[in-house]
Amino acid sequence: MAYALKVNGTTHTVDVDGDTPLLWVLRDVLGMTGTKFGCGMALCGACTVHMNGAPIRSCVTPVQSVGGAAITTIEAIGNTAAGRKIQKAWLDLEVVQCGYCQSGQIMSASALLASNPHPNDSAIDDAMSGNICRCGTYVRIREAIKHAAKSTTTVKEG
Amino acid sequence: MTLDHIGPVATDGANEGQAIGASRRAFLKAGLAGGGFVLSFSLPTFALRATAGTPAGFEPNAFIRIGSDGSVTLTMPQVEMGQGTYTSIPMLIAEELEVDLTHVGVEHAPPDRKRYGNPGLGGEQVTGNSSSIRAFWDPMRRAGATARVMLISAAAKRWKVNPSECHAERGEVVHKASGRRIKFGALVADAAKVPVPEKVELKRPDEFKLIGTPAKRLDTPLKVNGKAVYGIDVRPPGVKIATLAQSPTFGGRLKSVDDKAARAVKGVRQIVRLDDAVAVVADHMGAAKKGLAALIIEWDHGPNAKLATQDIEKELEQATLGAGAVAQQIGDVGKAMTGAANKVEAIYQVPFLAHACMEPMNCTVHVRKDGCEVWVGTQVLARAQDVVAKTTGLPLDKVVVHNHLLGGGFGRRLEVDGVARAAQIAMQVDGPVKVVWTREEDIQHGVYRPYWFDRFSAGLDEKGMPVAWNHRYAGSSVAARWAPPFFKNGLDPDSTEGAIDLVYALPNMRVEYVQVEPPGIPTGFWRSVGPSHNVFVVESFMDELAAAAKKDPVQYRLALMDKSPRAKAVLQLAAEKAGWGQPLPKRSGRGVSVQFAFGSYMAQVAEVEVSKDGDVRVRRVVCAVDCGAVVNPDTVRAQVQSAVIFGISAALFGQITLKDGRVEQTNFDTYRVLRMSEAPLIEVHIVQNTEHPGGLGEPGTSAIVPAVINAVFAATGKRLRKPPVDPAELRLA
């Protein structure tokens, strides 16, 4: 069946089974490979995208459940104020190593910052503990979120 | 900065270029190719194959190209898997060449071990063993310096001045007296004609501008906006996606498949049957997974159908009762043991471990009649090419391999089983096919860190100091399979690293190794390889000796380290920074470890807290490292932080177990790794010196496991000899 999906402001029509996880529609059907596959069971967070601004695990989100919701992926998170701050903090503090999990980390962190501009350690733990990083960049992710929260850059919501 | 992740790298131009100034013995050759000045140089490789003779003529294996626009491109044999090598190796060139780091582009080298072999790893084209900086420290700097000298000569000739009156800075040659400057790009044609100098002077450490200064990593920007291309992201036109089920037991075979339901799944295109696996090819991974779940598969479980971890444990235990190959012998252990005032014995075991790279195993292959293309992220490019040629029966030169960023390697991508598997599937598929393993498949069909069984005994004198040290252990030799020439007389350098040549001066010591290859489970290198086991057992047992002597674990170690001043210094530094000896709350404790491994000295102090329920939380880790000259201090810190987290996952949770011939763990719920809320504070203190650089990707992992386990002992009085931590053993009654 065909589904109309609003991804990063553009509507795409895809013809897949309704139980197909959004992750595979993004990666394999729409060719947006920035969103990563890690576990397929919402255990690692690599596939995190935003649905109407809230972080979701796209590997367990059936495409039929998305409806008309606005999906935002790593490819467009830089168009949001929080996303841009987080990306910049990630570069400033040299968070990234292999980088594979970082799309998901950045999506979770951006959602956190958008809803809580000054998160404390426990808020960071709550928001970020669903995202696994095998390179162990946790120390820097925590610092970078705090760094982003402190940054005074005001950017227009895109 | 340019990163070529997509296409093959064209290095042929360097060969076609007019070779000028080459001498038979030169390790460098200059020429002009594609309008740029190309310096080809050969890194000193030690042929792995005993039969390999001296290559006839000049065989360059690295290239620096300076374009007429001043751009500098390095064709580099190493792959980026998060360790920062795409930044630190260009730093070596940029330092001596006198260009901005941001002007140095990096290209992946194509598979060709003759050209791109890693001198530190027997000439194999490998990124691993924390060896990149160690092996390329000298040759890369020399190449950069040579290019600089030739550019200066070209400018001096043009200005008719003495080269000694000129110097290079920021991509220009400058004649200070007249104030003249000329960009490197304008000199490329002339520089190519300058005879290659026989000798060049390298900078003294106090002249370094880049080396030793934190540098921004060059590969990062594309990794924060989703544009970086990992192996799993490639999409050649018309690509289909496949996922697979391999025989759940190692050595089992496929008996039959009922694929009726799978074929009915929308998007499923084809079912591929192999001797020991079945794959579903589809338009997208969602359909492939759904199709795979719909298959009714019957397996012949083969010879290992009943295998359990306990069987392997028993076999290894038995092996340690007999003699092994002597890895190190000092003095007379038997005699010293007889005369000892006190005797301590202990048995340790370490489990199989999976790598669980965040990017699940994957490989894309397009087999045509006359050739084939492969897209993959691998630590061993030439091996990937070999295995595809062997699998498909195509000649090596018809197999084109495109290497991509690695979503973690940790040793798993030193293996090419996944590449061979993808080639087998692709041979039955029309067009390119990307084979993506599910996480379950990735965990259950790994190439695991070996299980080891260790037997220790020590004799102590009246003061409690060790006079005899007896260590015998059994387990798989990864090197014996992976690099057979390194396995000699029952020993190999990896299985023994960390067990011999200790930082401690022990008067009587005997270390024996018994190679036992477990049935039914493949073993491989895992971040920190041999030391991941040896440092754990040695540092645990040393802690036990200190406890038996009723002495402070740090003081006890220091008393044995007079002959290892660098090791002693890192231990003192770590202890001091950690506040060793200062009181901690009940059920909290500090543990220490010190090691020399991968050419670096490291000491760690871990601070843990053990809950009533026996859960261990690592609060803080203080690490002191002496890895010689530091190229990029920020990368050193990042690598140590990373290695520590990786090791804590192993200490607290990591184990792969077998039951009925199958791996029992499946995904991140049953193969736990550390999460943000569990991560400790990590401090890294770097000792400044100018010694030859040591490796840094791995030492942090081998050092943290004993530090954590020793800290658990300090907190609870319970000695854990078989990681991971079992909370049941630590629970308060």
CA distances from B77 to B9, B29, B61, B115, B231 (A): 11, 18, 8, 9, 17
Among the partner-chain residues A87, A96, A139, the one whose CB lies closest to the CB of B682 is A139
B231-302+361-436 in CATH: which number? 3.30.365.10
Q: Is the dihedral of CA B546, B549, B554, B555 positive or negative?
A: negative
Give dist(CA A101, CA A123) in Å, integer.
20
Tell me the percentage of chain B whose pLDDT exceeds 70.
90
- DSSP secondary structure string for all residues of B469-504: EEEEEEE--HHHHHSGGG-BTTB-HHHHBTTBS-SS
Residue B432, φ and ψ in degrees, nearest 5: -70, 145
- Buried/exposed code over B574-597 (b: 16+ C-beta within 10 A; e: otherwise): bbebbebeeebeebbbbbbbbbbb
pLDDT tens sequence across B541-577: 999 999 999 999 999 999 999 999 999 999 999 999 9
- Consecutive H or E run containing B104: strand B104-108
Q: Tell me, what's the pLDDT at B134?
A: 79
Residue B630, φ and ψ in degrees, nearest 5: -100, 130
Give dist(CA B196, CA B203) in Å, integer.
18
Question: How many CB pairs below 8 Å do chains A and B form together?
Answer: 195
pLDDT tens sequence across B188-207: 999 988 999 988 999 998 99
- Enter the DSSP assignment of B460: E
Answer yes or no: do B638 and A94 touch at CB < 8 A. yes
CA distances from B580 to A93, B200, B590 (A): 30, 47, 7
Nearest C-alpha in B relative to A26: B284
Q: Tell me, what's the pLDDT at B53?
A: 32
Count how many residues are written for chain A.
Answer: 158
Asked if pLDDT for residue B297 goes beyond 60, the answer is yes
Q: Tell me, what's the pLDDT at B272?
A: 98
Give dist(CA B256, CA B241) in Å, integer.
23
Q: Which residue has the tokens 């990373």?
A: B642
Confirm or reject CATH 3.30.365.10 for domain B309-352+448-730, answering yes or no. Answer: yes
Numbered ranges of CATH 3.30.365.10 in chain B: 3-216, 231-302+361-436, 309-352+448-730
Give dist(CA B83, CA B132) in Å, integer.
10
Among the partner-chain residues B81, B668, B681, the one whose CB lies closest to the CB of A98 is B81
Q: Where are the alpha helices (DSSP H) in B75-131?
A: 85-97, 113-116
Give dist(CA B647, CA B702) in Å, integer.
7
B628: exposed, middle or buried (C-beta count within 10 Å: 0-12, 13-18, 19+)? buried
Nearest C-alpha in A relative to B236: A31
Kindly state the average pLDDT of the residues A123-131.
98
Mutation target to probe the B interface, by most B beta carbons within 10 A, among A19, A25, A63, A100 is A100
Kindly state the average pLDDT of the residues B244-258.
97
Kindly state the average pLDDT of the residues B268-283.
98
Distance to chain A for B344, nearest Cα, Å: 37
Answer yes or no: do B676 and A131 touch at CB < 8 A. yes
Answer yes or no: do A100 and B358 touch at CB < 8 A. yes
Asked if pLDDT for residue B44 goes beyond 60, the answer is no
- DSSP secondary structure string for all residues of B649-700: HHHHT--B-EETTEES--STTTS----GGGPPEEEEEE----SPPPP-SSHH
Distance to chain A for B657, nearest Cα, Å: 20
Answer yes or no: do B646 and A132 touch at CB < 8 A. no
Give dist(CA A141, CA A95) in Å, integer.
6
Q: Tell me, what's the pLDDT at B116?
A: 64
**Are B439 and A40 in contact, with CB atoms under 8 Å apart?**
yes
Q: Identify all chain A residues contacting B233, using CB atoms and an 8 Å cutoff.
A: 27, 33
Among B230-234, B291-295, B688-692, whose mean pLDDT is lowest?
A: B688-692
Answer yes or no: do B220 and A17 touch at CB < 8 A. no
> What domains appear along chain A, each with residue ranges and CATH number?
2-72 (3.10.20.30), 77-150 (1.10.150.120)
Among the partner-chain residues B219, B407, B439, the one whose CB lies closest to the CB of A100 is B407
Answer yes or no: do A99 and B641 touch at CB < 8 A. no
- Cβ neighbours of residue B576 under 8 Å, at least 6 residues apart? none
| pLDDT interval class at B46 (50, 70, 90) | very low
Amino acid at A35: T
Q: Tell me, what's the pLDDT at B77?
A: 67
- Specify the pTM: 0.90
Q: Tell me, what's the pLDDT at B130?
A: 67
Answer yes or no: do A135 and B226 touch at CB < 8 A. no
B3-216 in CATH: which number? 3.30.365.10
Asked if pLDDT for residue B4 goes beyond 50, the answer is no
Mean pLDDT over the full length of chain B = 90
Partners of B605 in the β-ladder: B592, B622
- DSSP secondary structure string for all residues of B237-298: TT-EEEEEEE-SSTT-EEEEEE-HHHHTSTTEEEEEE-SSEEEEEESSHHHHHHHHHH-EEE
Amino acid at B281: V
Q: Tell me, what's the pLDDT at B641?
A: 96
Q: In angstroms, what is the C-alpha Rg of chain A?
A: 15
Q: Identify all chain A residues contacting B357, using CB atoms and an 8 Å cutoff.
A: 98, 100, 134
Two tokens, residue A45: 């967070």
Asked if pLDDT for residue B275 goes beyond 50, the answer is yes
Q: Tell me, what's the pLDDT at B35?
A: 75
Q: Identify all chain B residues contacting A129, using CB atoms and an 8 Å cutoff.
A: 675-678
Residues B95/B98/B102/B104 CA torsion (nearest 10 deg): -80
pLDDT tens sequence across B490-540: 999 999 999 999 999 999 999 999 999 999 899 999 999 999 999 999 999
Mutation target to probe the B interface, by most B beta carbons within 10 A, among A92, A135, A137, A146 is A135
**Are B472 and B320 in contact, with CB atoms under 8 Å apart?**
yes
Two tokens, residue B70: 């001043």
Asked if pLDDT for residue B15 goes beyond 80, the answer is no
| pLDDT interval class at B61 (50, 70, 90) | low
Residues A31/A33/A38/A41 CA torsion (nearest 10 deg): -40
Q: Identify all chain A residues contacting B361, using CB atoms and an 8 Å cutoff.
A: none
Answer yes or no: do B286 and A25 touch at CB < 8 A. yes
Q: Identify all chain B residues contacting A25, using CB atoms and an 8 Å cutoff.
A: 284, 286
Give dist(CA A49, CA A37) in Å, integer.
12
Among B132-141, B662-671, B683-692, whose mean pLDDT is lowest?
A: B132-141
Give dist(CA B425, CA B433) in Å, integer.
8
Q: Tell me, what's the pLDDT at B54?
A: 33
